[in-house]
Amino acid sequence: MSNIRIALVGIGKIARDQHVPAIAKVDGVELVAACSRHAGLDGVRSFSDFGEMLRAVPEIDAVSLCTPPTARLSYAIETLEAGKHLVLEKPPAATISELAPVITLAEKKGLSLFTTWHSRFGDGVAPARDWLADAAIRSARIHWHEDVRRWHPGQDWIWEPGGLGVFDPGINALSILTAILPQPVFLTRSELSVPANRATPIAARLGLTDRAGTPIEAEMDWRPTDRDRWDIVVEADKGRLVLSDGGGALTIDGQTVVGGHDNEYPNIYRRFAELVREGRSDIDLTPLTLVADAFMLGRHESVEAFN
């Protein structure tokens, strides 16, 4: 079968750092065009207008959207209307309701839609899920602490409505949690610390549980820290599981199971190629639903302005 010819849209940090090298690495996919209002990619046909790109490069089979979530909907609809498969960076949209027409259109057109959750492709995640499958979970705790100035320099959209604030990274933790726990979880409590001059939280403390009443706590924080930390700890009847490095490394009762390599994005494109070949979609809105619930249940505390 010939390569799936991909156009990347929204050429910013993640498109350059991860999507371009991952597409180059994976058999069966190929980068044929790029679209961004103010940027292009060397050696790739680049456009500032999306419609012009679709007209000029009709051989595009699929579009991968790497814009901020608030700038996805019209591109997503145009992509599917044009008969192309669609990959959505996380989070798949700025709201849950705007995904309904996208999903309906992909189904109607028989096109593959992939709502990616890159952290689920960390090397430790699948073994963690398998180990927990028959476990009785006693508790779980998420620690997601990174310095926003280090990881998101100059990104104003994260502070605007729809930009999610600290949930931009925090949703990755929720994507892992919902992939590894054997039962569905739901929100019970949400405390959001919002800088006085911004629209989105700089920190969040969440309580979650499942049908069995398992206590699950999540702390997400973007304020300066001695060390970045992206850990999930699960206490179970079988032992203590620690996923660290954002899902890349796994220890069980202190023993290393997976050492941690960064294979997330190549694995995303391998999975996408598989979906297209099998004529299927992979759509999961659970992490975004939990974040929406955190905003719905949220008690807002105003904290120091962020400049």
Ligand X SMILES: NC(=O)c1ccc[n+]([C@@H]2O[C@H](COP(=O)([O-])OP(=O)(O)OC[C@H]3O[C@@H](n4cnc5c(N)ncnc54)[C@H](OP(=O)(O)O)[C@@H]3O)[C@@H](O)[C@H]2O)c1
Q: Does 12 bind ligand X (CB under 6 A)?
A: yes
Cα 94 to Cα 83: distance, rounded to the nearest angstrom: 23
Cα 217 to its chain centre, rounded Å, is 20
Q: Are 171 and 288 in contact (CB under 8 A)?
A: yes
Cα 108 to Cα 203: distance, rounded to the nearest angstrom: 40
Q: Does 200 bind ligand X (CB under 6 A)?
A: no
Q: Per-residue string for binding with ligand X, 258-287, x by CB under 6 A?
A: ------------------------------
- Applying the rule CB under 6 A, the residues between 89 and 118 that interact with ligand X are 89-90, 118
| Type of residue found at 134 | D
Cα 59 to Cα 57: distance, rounded to the nearest angstrom: 5
Phi-psi region of 199 (alpha: psi -120 to 50; beta: other; left: phi over 0): alpha
Q: Does 163 bind ligand X (CB under 6 A)?
A: no
Nearer to ligand X, 26 or 137 (CB): 26
Nearer to ligand X, 77 or 135 (CB): 77
Residues 3, 155, 188, 286: which binds ligand X (CB under 6 A)?
Answer: 155
| Type of residue found at 53 | M
Q: Are 267 and 122 in contact (CB under 8 A)?
A: no
Q: Which one of the listed residues 25, 84, 90, 109 is annotated catalytic?
A: 90
Give the residue from 162, 118, 166, 158 showing the smallest Cα distance to 142.
166
- Beta-carbon contacts of residue 249 (< 8 Å; ≥ 6 apart): 123, 124, 243, 256, 258, 259, 260
Nearer to ligand X, 57 or 71 (CB): 71
Shortest approach of ligand X to residue 161 CB, angstroms? Answer: 12
Shortest approach of ligand X to residue 287 CB, angstroms? Answer: 11
Nearer to ligand X, 131 or 269 (CB): 269
The sign of the torsion formed by the CA atoms of 38, 41, 42, 47 equals negative
Nearer to ligand X, 38 or 211 (CB): 38
Helix or strand holding residue 275 (H, E): helix 264-278
C-beta nearest to ligand X: residue: 12
User: Catalytic residue at 90?
Assistant: yes
Shortest approach of ligand X to residue 81 CB, angstroms? Answer: 19
Residues 29, 41, 60, 66: which binds ligand X (CB under 6 A)?
Answer: 66
Shortest approach of ligand X to residue 119 CB, angstroms? Answer: 8
Q: Per-residue string for binding with ligand X, 16-45, x by CB under 6 A?
A: --------------------xxxx------
Residues annotated as catalytic (active site), given as ranges: 90
Residues that bind ligand X (CB under 6 A): 10-15, 36-39, 66-71, 89-90, 118, 155, 157, 168
